[in-house]
Amino acid sequence: MTKDLLIVFVKNLKLGKVKTRLAKTIGDQAAFEVYAELVKLTERATQTLAIDKRIYFSDAIIKTQWKNEFKAIQQGKDLGERMLNAFKKGFEEGYERIVLIGSDLPDISETHIKNAFAALQEVNVTFGPAEDGGYYLVGLSELHPNVFIDKPWSTSHLLDDTLLELKRNNIAYKLLEPLNDIDTFEDLKASKFYKSNLKLQEKIKQLHD
């Protein structure tokens, strides 16, 4: 057991259930293909980290992904409660620094995750800001439930509201490099991930035409 724990939240790959905003433009099947590629990218970005990992799936455990890692099902009625429960379990089991990421960020790398753990040597809370006003990463060195309770999920002011509450409670935090996630077709087309993946471009073109 290491002192550091990485948690990855993964949505199960189900047609019509992933990247729904993107699907409104390019269709369910194409959005499914995009998310499948992003999950593979996230797995590659985390596989060589020499720390404990826990992979939390939304609905059902997939044995072929993150082989040999701890896997479980997310528990809670909304995203905040599911994240809070995952952090709570990690701290109860003795981890000192915990970082949680999603599985749909095209530019996530091992460096971003290492930077998050480094930040937690100095502060209690760290975030990786997403350009849409949310965050792609959250890390804690002690449990702060108010980070997750009664928050405006999927809004452009999620991170601002969360930081305001931390300031009111005098909880120190650190922000990492901002990254852009993929919610719309414009996000997808602008990403290096898409521009460099000719196979995915062709597949989406076929599905979208």
Is 123:141 a contact under the CB 8 Å cutoff? yes
Strands 52-57 and 125-129 turn out to be unpaired
The letter for the amino acid at 129 is P
Spell out the domain ranges in the chain: 4-208
Please state, as a whole number, how many other Cβ atoms lie within 10 Å of the Cβ of residue 191.
Answer: 19
Maximum CA extent, the chain: 53
Tokens of 73: 């099902």
Listing DSSP states for 69-91 in one string gives: SEEEE--SSSHHHHHHHHHHHHH
Cβ neighbours for 209, distance < 8 A, ≥ 6 positions apart: none
For residues 58 and 31, what is the distance between their CA atoms, to the nearest angstrom?
17
Write phi, then psi, for 53 (nearest 5 degrees).
Answer: -130, 145
Helix, strand or coil for residue 128?
strand
From the list 101, 102, 140, the residue with the least C-alpha distance to 120 is 140
Helix, strand or coil for residue 136?
strand
For residues 35 and 28, what is the distance between their CA atoms, to the nearest angstrom?
11
Tokens of 19: 């990247």
Strands 135-140 and 173-175 turn out to be unpaired
The residues with which 99 forms a beta bridge, in sequence order, are 6, 139
Write phi, then psi, for 122 (nearest 5 degrees).
Answer: -110, -30
List the pLDDT tens digit at each of the 209 positions of the chain. Answer: 889 999 999 999 888 889 988 999 899 999 999 999 999 999 999 999 999 999 999 999 999 999 989 999 999 999 999 999 999 999 999 999 999 999 989 999 999 999 999 999 999 999 999 988 999 999 999 999 999 999 999 889 999 999 999 999 999 999 999 998 888 888 888 888 889 999 888 988 887 66
Q: Which CATH number fits domain 4-208: 3.30.930.10, 1.10.10.1200, 3.90.550.10, 2.40.240.20?
A: 3.90.550.10
